[in-house]
């Protein structure tokens, strides 16, 4: 592009805003239209200006107000006033269809957004209510669990085992074992006091192979173990559970004798 052409292009780009508003005088408009036929950049800019940017371009706060165009618009307004001081102002004449409809479109868009926001708000309210309900249920559930555990471990709660009348209280261990997770719980009553430096150790006795260590536990002064959770490898098949007395840190194989053993099938 030569300097002369570049200069012409700049001048035309200044005229584009006026042209978009239909306020460019006929002679300049004819020249601009000729230039538009050859210049893609100007055609693109014009399309943008027709999209509403012309008003911004000419407004005082607009991002790129071409000073020259503004003064030409002012001149056009002054001329218009002089020519037709009576009824119709330039601003009215500028009201092309897109310009008159813009507020309507804006209102429609706002209404649409309002409806969308309202719908979204309603569905959020619904899921919030559901989440709240779920949380209340969980909280109540947690509260029951917490209370059960608290009671199990309360040092001042009485642990009372009922046995057949006339029978002497016997040491008793209850285990709850879930094979698929390998988790287990142990509760015990009336256990014999351990020698110093020793612990009870629970063993899972599989159908085949060596006993699997299933947790250490020590009874309190009353011979009770409130709740002792432990675990073995998930899926371990238990033929029986057994208890031995081991050194404090526990053992990987049971030290004889077996002091307690589950009866087969229980």
In this structure, are residues 146 and 140 in contact, taking their beta carbons and an 8 Å threshold? no
Nearer to Zn ion, 9 or 179 (CB): 9
Closest Cα to residue 62, out of 73, 196, 234, 149?
73
209-227 in b/e burial notation, b at 16+ Cβ within 10 A? eebbbbbbbebeeebbbbe
Decide the pairing of beta strands 183-189 and 225-231: antiparallel
Minimum CB separation of residue 42 from Zn ion in Å reads: 3
- The reply to whether 49 sits near Zn ion by the rule CB under 5 A is no
**Candidates 36-44, 67-75, 100-108, 187-195 — which segment interacts with Zn ion by CB under 5 A?**
36-44
Decide the pairing of beta strands 225-231 and 260-261: unpaired
Dihedral angle sign, alpha carbons of residues 130, 132, 133, 135: positive
- The reply to whether 173 sits near Zn ion by the rule CB under 5 A is no
Q: Residue 129 phi/psi, 5° resolution? A: -65, -40
* Residues 117 to 156 in contact with Zn ion, rule: CB under 5 A: none
**Candidates 42-50, 64-72, 93-101, 151-159 — which segment interacts with Zn ion by CB under 5 A?**
42-50
Minimum CB separation of residue 9 from Zn ion in Å reads: 4
Dihedral angle sign, alpha carbons of residues 39, 41, 47, 53: negative
Tell me the three state secondary structure of residue 76. Answer: helix
Nearer to Zn ion, 9 or 198 (CB): 9
**Candidates 8-16, 169-177, 218-226, 229-237 — which segment interacts with Zn ion by CB under 5 A?**
8-16
- The reply to whether 43 sits near Zn ion by the rule CB under 5 A is no
Applying CB under 5 A, among 42, 73, 204, 242 the residue interacting with Zn ion is 42
How far apart CA 144 and CA 146 sit, in angstroms, is: 6
Nearer to Zn ion, 44 or 95 (CB): 44
Tell me the three state secondary structure of residue 185. Answer: strand
- The reply to whether 31 sits near Zn ion by the rule CB under 5 A is no
Minimum CB separation of residue 77 from Zn ion in Å reads: 26
Q: With 0-12 CB in 10 A as exposed, 13-18 as middle and 19+ as buried, what is 90?
A: middle
- Please give the size of the binding site for Zn ion, defined by CB under 5 A: 4
Q: Residue 115 phi/psi, 5° resolution? A: -65, -45
- The reply to whether 9 sits near Zn ion by the rule CB under 5 A is yes
Nearer to Zn ion, 37 or 197 (CB): 37
Nearer to Zn ion, 40 or 195 (CB): 40
Nearer to Zn ion, 37 or 233 (CB): 37
Interface with Zn ion by CB under 5 A: which residues? 9, 12, 39, 42
């Amino acid at each position: 592009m030569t300097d002369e052409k570049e200069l012409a292009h700049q001048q035309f780009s200044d005229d584009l805003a006026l042209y978009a508003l239909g306020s460019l005088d006929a002679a300049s408009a004819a020249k601009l239209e000729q230039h538009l036929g050859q210049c893609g950049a100007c055609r693109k800019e014009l399309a943008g200006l027709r999209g509403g940017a012309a008003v911004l371009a000419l407004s005082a706060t607009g991002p790129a107000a071409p000073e020259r165009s503004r003064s030409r618009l002012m001149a056009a307004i002054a001329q218009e006033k002089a020519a037709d001081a009576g009824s119709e102002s330039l601003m009215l004449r500028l009201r092309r269809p897109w310009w008159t409809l813009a507020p309507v479109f804006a209102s429609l868009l706002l209404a649409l957004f309002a409806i969308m926001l309202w719908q979204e708000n309603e569905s959020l309210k619904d899921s919030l209510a559901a989440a709240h309900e779920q949380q209340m249920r969980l909280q109540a559930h947690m509260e029951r669990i917490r209370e059960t555990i608290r009671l199990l471990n309360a040092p001042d709660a009485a642990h009372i085992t009922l046995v057949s009348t006339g029978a002497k209280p016997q040491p008793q261990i209850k285990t709850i074992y879930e094979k698929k997770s390998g988790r287990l719980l142990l509760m015990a009553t009336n256990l014999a006091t351990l020698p110093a430096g020793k612990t009870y150790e629970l063993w899972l006795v599989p159908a085949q192979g060596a006993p699997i260590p299933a947790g250490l536990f020590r009874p309190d002064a009353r011979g009770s173990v409130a709740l002792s959770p432990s675990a073995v490898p998930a899926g371990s098949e238990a033929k029986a559970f057994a208890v031995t007395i081991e050194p404090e840190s526990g053992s990987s194989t049971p030290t004889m004798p077996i002091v307690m053993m589950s009866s087969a099938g229980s």
